Every structure is written in C-alpha cells, then in structure tokens.
Amino acid sequence: MPYSRRRFLVTGSLAAGALASVKPFAAKAAAPENLQDWDAVRRQFDLDPAYIHLGLFYLTSHPRPVRAAIETHRKQLDANPFRTVEQGMFESPEQNLQLRATTALAKYIGGKPEDIALTHNTTSGLSLIYHGLPLKSGDEILTTVNDHYVHHEAIRLAVERNGASWRRINTWESWDSISADGIVDHIRREIRPNTRVVGVTWVHSQSGMRMPIRRIADMLADVNRDRANRILLVVDGVHGMGVEDPHIIALGADAFSAGLHKWIFGPRGTGFVWAKPEVWASMRPMLPSFSSFALFQAWGEGHAPAPPAQASWFTAGGFQSFEHQWAIPAALDFHDAIGPARITQRIHALNQSMNEEVRKLPNVKIVYTPADPQLNAGMVCFDMKSLDANATVAKLLEKKIIASTTPYAVPFARLALGVMNTQQEVEATARALRSLS
C-alpha cells in the first residue's frame, strides 16, 4: 500500500463511515475583554491577592484566554482522543493545530511559519540548535561568562559530541562601566579564525542586562564579509520575547530560541526555535518528527529524506501535552489584544521606576541592572549591604513580596515586574527593602 498522508501515523483502524461521522475539529479560546485598561489585564490572572508577585518571569500564571483554550482542547481530547489528535495533527492543513501555532508565532515575530520549529522550552531549543549545527573538530563556539547554565550546558554537551571547542568571555570590565559599544568591541576582539558561532542572551536573567543584539549582528555581518566560513549568531531570547519589540527577525540573529511560558504568558511547556532557512538546511535533526510528511514518506520508501532540512523536521514528535501546544495562539492573541508596544512601554516603565527606587536606598550595595533604558528590560538585580541574596528574598517573602535569586554561582536578589503589576507595588516593594537590615 503506498504511503499517504492518511497513513501518516494512522493505521486505518477506523472505518470510513466512522470517520465521516465525527464533526470537524474546531476549538477557539474565549475572547478576552477590552484590555486597554491595566486593571482589566490584571484581572485575567488568578494570582493570590495576598502577595505582590515579582517572579512571574520565572513561570507564568496562565491568563484567562489561555486557560480557556487549554480547557477547550483538553475536553476534546478527553471526549475523543484518537480523532482529536488525528484531525488536529495529520489531516488537512486547515485543521492542523501545530500549523496554527507556528502561523501565529510567525505573525507575532514577523517571520514565516515554515522557519519555526516548536519546542517545550528554551533549554530544548538551544540544545536543538547547538546539536544540530554542522560543527567539527577545530571549530569554536564563542559565548559569554554571563550566559545561563542551560546555554552553557547546551554548548558543552554539543561540543563533547562533535569535537568542536567553546570559550566563555567577559563582555564588560565592571558592572559600572557597561556600554553597548563596549560589549560589541569585547566580542569582536575575541573572534578567532576558527570561530563559527557566537552565542549570546538577549536579556540576562543574572543581571537584567539587555544585550545590543542588533549591533552584535551588524558587527558580525561586517566580520563575515572577509571570511570564507560565516559566523552564526545564536540568541537565547526568552527574557526579551514578550517584553521587547516582538519582531525578532529584525534583530539579525541566525537562530533564536525562546520559551513561551514566561513573558508571553503562553501554555506551560511550550517554546519555539526560529532560524533562517539556510541555517535549517545546514542542520541535523536530533529526534524523529511528526510534523513533516516528507520524513514519514521517505521512511516508508526506505531511503533518507531529500535535503535540504526544514524547520518542521526539528519539531519533536511523540505524544505530548497537545492541549498546551495547541493553545499557543491564545497567548499571542492576548498580547495582540493588549498591544505589544503598550506591553513594552508598561514593563519598561515599571522596571525603570523600580531600578530608580532601589538605587536611592541607603541599605542597597549595588544595582547590577544598568540604569540606561537601552540596556535594561523587565527585571532589577541588586545586592543589599548587610544581607545576601537568599536572605533578602526570604525577608521580602515574610512581607508577602515574591522576589527571586539569580541562579548563578554568585546569586543576586532579583525583582521583575510585568503587565499585571502596578506602580503602587513598586513603591510598596521599595518601602519593604528600605526596612530590611
């Protein structure tokens, strides 16, 4: 029997009459109310009102439209799991819910659906990129000492397998001398003839520092003009995605990974990788995919799939929390209903105010997050004079303020304000910090 789209992971166990009797799949999240009012936005989240929540960048609370979309898909899966998955994954493009998710993401970031692979989080996305790139012995990946554990580990695990090497560099001399020019110059000076990848983070969770990605991309474009082997720019974008201008294609990265369960308020356990078509074409998948019929057809015919590789080859197959993955469009619709530019302005205004308030406090030793609005984003990281980071966070929690520590070798105290927070919470947190000793 020839391999067809009907047989893509479906064994024909249902009779044709039974197939025809099932109603077409349709799921739509409940439309949000008018979200031009910030109090209305705040009401979308079922947050415990006893606390000031300054850690939601870590893992989001699902807003009402996302909860509704997840519940809609869950009910359909519970009512008819086989047909729901078959229609939502393997039948017509019009009903394909993975395609709806990549299409919604593409619209949000200003790209194309065919250039997006779906992942479970930033960690799996970075691993997908670094393990997929065709690096070999003698090649080098350049990254920074300030990047997160998972970025470093994704690189380390990849180079242990492909024989390449990696190097971590400083991108500024001290916390009080950070500048965009200095960052770009530091990276350029460290590039070697064998450097094949520069891996950086858009917004550092260690410090709240926002890297000048566009300027780094422009510098690499200039360097690449004189090189036979082009250097790729890989970006961990999770703490910029949902805070900054959503059109990440304009940043100039070659590959970009982000989870959606932080600032985007997306379903927990969802993320994506965007890369340029020529980058996907050069890469090797890590896992079988259910998202490309070409792969299944080649397997059925007994040969390897014909190149070039495409983004859909990198969306991991297997059965998973479909109701979460399929609810991704609801989160992006929620952002659009509020307005991405309004979200950016709101988050920056609250965190800039928090940054300024913390700097005024006599018992604060240092604020690591730059005061320059061009170099900060959605968080404020600092040290108290008489308390370490863990003690600072513990004492704030006693006052019903949820802060966090940065998960690095030397932790800092960290506050992050999103669209559900208020200026009154900024002022209450500043008063609480002033009282700590």
In eight-state DSSP terms, residue 346 is H
Same domain? For 268 and 313 the reply is: yes
Here the CATH number for the domain that contains residue 244 is: 3.40.640.10
| One-letter identity of residue 115 | D
Q: In this structure, are 279 and 136 located in the same domain?
A: yes
Distance CA 332, CA 113 (A): 14
Could you tell me if residue 307 is inside a domain?
yes
Whether the pLDDT of residue 143 is over 60: the answer is yes
Which pLDDT score, from 0 to 100, does residue 336 have?
96
Q: Tell me which of 336, 367, 390 is where a domain ends.
A: 336
Q: Where is 144: in which H helix or E strand?
A: strand 140-144
Looking at residue 33, its pLDDT comes to 76
C-alpha–C-alpha distance, residues 396 and 393, integer Å = 5
For residue 78, being part of any structural domain is answered with: no
What H or E segment, with its residue span, contains residue 255? strand 255-259
Note whether 224 and 308 are same-domain residues: yes
Average pLDDT of the segment spanning 309-328: 96
Element (H or E) spanning 395, and its range?
Answer: helix 389-398
- What per-residue confidence (pLDDT) applies to 177? 87
Do residues 303 and 361 both lie within one domain?
no
- Provide the pLDDT for residue 8: 52
Q: State the greatest distance between any 2 C-alpha atoms of the chain, in Å, as a whole number.
A: 77
Residue whose pair of structure tokens reads 């998972």 in the numeric block:
150
* Inter-residue contact 80 to 96 (CB < 8 Å): no
CA distance 363 to 437: 8
Number of domains in the chain: 2
> What average pLDDT does range 280-296 have in this prediction?
95
What confidence score (pLDDT) does residue 91 get? Answer: 87
Whether residue 355 sits in one domain with residue 252:
no
Average pLDDT of span 429-433:
98
Rounded to the nearest 10 degrees, how much is the dihedral formed by the CA atoms of 67, 73, 74, 77?
180
Question: Last residue of a domain, which of 275, 309, 336?
Answer: 336
User: For residues 256 and 243, what is the distance between their CA atoms, to the nearest angstrom?
Assistant: 15
* Tokens, residue 258: 């982000």
Please indicate, yes or no, if residue 8 is contained in any of the structural domains: no
Average pLDDT over residues 362-391: 97
pLDDT tens per residue, range 251-276: 999 999 999 999 999 999 999 999 99
Q: Are residues 306 and 355 in the same domain?
A: no
Q: Is the pLDDT of residue 18 over 90?
A: no
User: What's the whole-number mean pLDDT along residues 388-415?
Assistant: 96
User: Helix, strand, or coil here: 118?
Assistant: strand
Residues linked to residue 233 through DSSP beta bridges, in sequence order: 198
Identify the weakest region by mean pLDDT among 15-24, 45-54, 130-139, 210-219: 15-24
pTM of the model: 0.93
DSSP helix/strand/coil, 304: coil
Whole-number average pLDDT of the chain? 92
Q: Is position 277 within any domain?
A: yes
Residues 131 and 252 in one domain: yes
Residue 345 to residue 243: CA distance in whole angstroms: 9
Question: Are residues 323 and 346 located together in one domain of the fold?
Answer: no
| Best CA proximity match to 155, nearest among 128, 186, 182 | 128
Listed residues 276, 311, 336: the one ending a domain: 336
pLDDT of residue 32: 52
Angle at 366 between CA 360 and CA 370, to 5 degrees: 85
326 and 361 within one domain: no
Write the CATH number for 361: 3.90.1150.10
- Encode 381-418: b = buried (16+ Cβ within 10 Å), e = exposed: bbbbeebebeebbebbeeeebbbbbbebeebbbbbbbb
Q: pLDDT tens digits, residue range 337-376?
A: 999 999 999 999 999 999 999 999 999 999 999 999 999 9
Residue 166, domain extent: 103-336
391 occurs within a structural domain: yes
* Statement to judge: residues 353 and 317 lie in one domain: no
The answer to whether the peptide bond before residue 308 is cis (omega within 30 degrees of 0) is yes
Q: Does 49 fall in a domain?
A: no
| Rounded-to-integer distance, Cα 386 and Cα 117, Å | 47
Residue 205 resides in a domain:
yes
Mean pLDDT score, 25-46: 77
Same domain, yes or no: 302 and 346: no
- Name the DSSP class of 31: P
Residue 51 lies in a domain: no
